């Protein structure tokens, strides 16, 4: 009977090509030796999947200085409420006076440091492309991510017939398919790939304590990412 290995993505399988955030799918680079280890597990008949929190798809109130190229944002109205249109950053720079100048496709903005905006780091579509690229790097055909901070939704990304397919689900909290929530440390993303199948062992590999807590909640064994990457064959 095969084992099921569920891997966290960022900080476990891949890291940014440069310091900071992954700004495009191609910014992701495999840790040294990871692909060989994954290939060996596959050759032994085990099942591999990815489970990643992608809270950047949610909107967060931040200071304008944290806006990024390609991010989406909204501004406050006269009553201090975030409402109206959302804008996509085309370019951003800070002038000699510390003001943040932001160009969008429809208009330009100037913000002071700390001025609040409602920002989305990445779109659902961007996160899907990021997951597909990372899974291809790893040779993994099944991936899941939680796009919101509340953990109520899950996006499954699967490769079949040489094509990627995705599905977005928000089951009712009362449904058995909500699996107790999907954002780690909730167990749902680990339980999704194991539902309806039998495995000899179910193992989560991750780099954060939320990964470890999700493993405990789902009844999985847990291995720290660094231990997995450094293990001798």
Sign of CA dihedral 135, 139, 140, 141: positive
Are residue 226 and residue 136 in the same domain, yes or no?
yes
**Residue 144, φ and ψ in degrees, nearest 5:** -135, 145
pLDDT tens across 2-60, in order?
A: 999 999 999 999 999 887 777 789 999 999 999 999 999 999 999 999 999 997 788 88
pLDDT tens across 53-94, in order?
A: 997 788 888 899 989 888 888 888 776 666 668 898 999 999
Domain span holding position 77: 59-120
Last residue of a domain, one of 120, 140, 164: 120
Q: Count of residues for the chain?
A: 233
Are residue 32 and residue 139 in the same domain, yes or no?
yes
* The predicted structure's pLDDT at residue 84: 66
Question: How would you class 197 by CB atoms within 10 Å of its CB: exposed for 0-12, middle for 13-18, buried for 19 or more?
Answer: exposed
pLDDT, average across residues 163-174: 90
* The predicted structure's pLDDT at residue 83: 65
pLDDT tens across 195-209, in order?
A: 888 999 999 999 999
Last residue of a domain, one of 120, 142, 163: 120
Last residue of a domain, one of 88, 120, 152: 120
* The predicted structure's pLDDT at residue 177: 76
Q: Hey, which residues does 28 pair with through a beta bridge? A: 16
pTM equals 0.83
Are residue 33 and residue 49 in the same domain, yes or no?
yes
Are residue 165 and residue 219 in the same domain, yes or no?
yes
Closest CA to 131 of 11, 48, 18, 24: 24
- Residue 194 CB neighbour total at 10 angstroms: 17
Please state, in angstroms and rounded to a whole number, the distance separating the CA atoms of residues 213 and 220. 10
Overall number of domains in the chain:
2
Are residue 26 and residue 70 in the same domain, yes or no?
no
Q: Can you give the CATH number for the domain in which 172 is found?
A: 3.40.50.1000
pLDDT tens across 215-228, in order?
A: 999 999 999 999 99
């Amino acid at each position: 009977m095969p084992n099921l290995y569920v891997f966290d993505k960022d900080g476990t399988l891949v890291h940014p090509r440069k310091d900071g955030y992954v700004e495009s799918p191609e910014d992701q680079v495999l840790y040294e030796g990871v692909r060989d280890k994954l290939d060996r597990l596959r050759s032994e008949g085990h099942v591999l999947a990815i489970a990643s929190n992608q809270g950047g798809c949610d909107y967060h109130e931040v200071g304008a200085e944290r806006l990024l190229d390609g991010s989406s944002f909204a501004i406050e109205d006269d009553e201090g409420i975030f409402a109206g249109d959302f804008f996509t950053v085309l370019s951003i720079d800070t002038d000699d006076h510390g003001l943040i100048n932001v160009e969008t496709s429809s208009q330009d903005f100037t913000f002071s440091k700390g001025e609040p905006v409602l920002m989305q780091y990445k779109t659902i579509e961007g996160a899907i492309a990021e997951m597909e690229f990372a899974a291809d790097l790893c040779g993994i055909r099944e991936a899941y991510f939680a796009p919101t901070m509340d953990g109520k939704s899950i996006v499954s990304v699967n490769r079949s017939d040489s094509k990627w397919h995705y599905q977005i689900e928000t089951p009712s909290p009362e449904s058995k398919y909500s699996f107790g929530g999907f954002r780690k440390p909730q167990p749902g993303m680990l339980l999704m790939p194991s539902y309806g199948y039998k495995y000899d062992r179910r193992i989560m590999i991750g780099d954060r304590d939320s990964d470890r807590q999700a493993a405990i909640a789902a009844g999985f064994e847990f291995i720290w990412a660094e231990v997995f990457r450094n293990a001798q064959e």
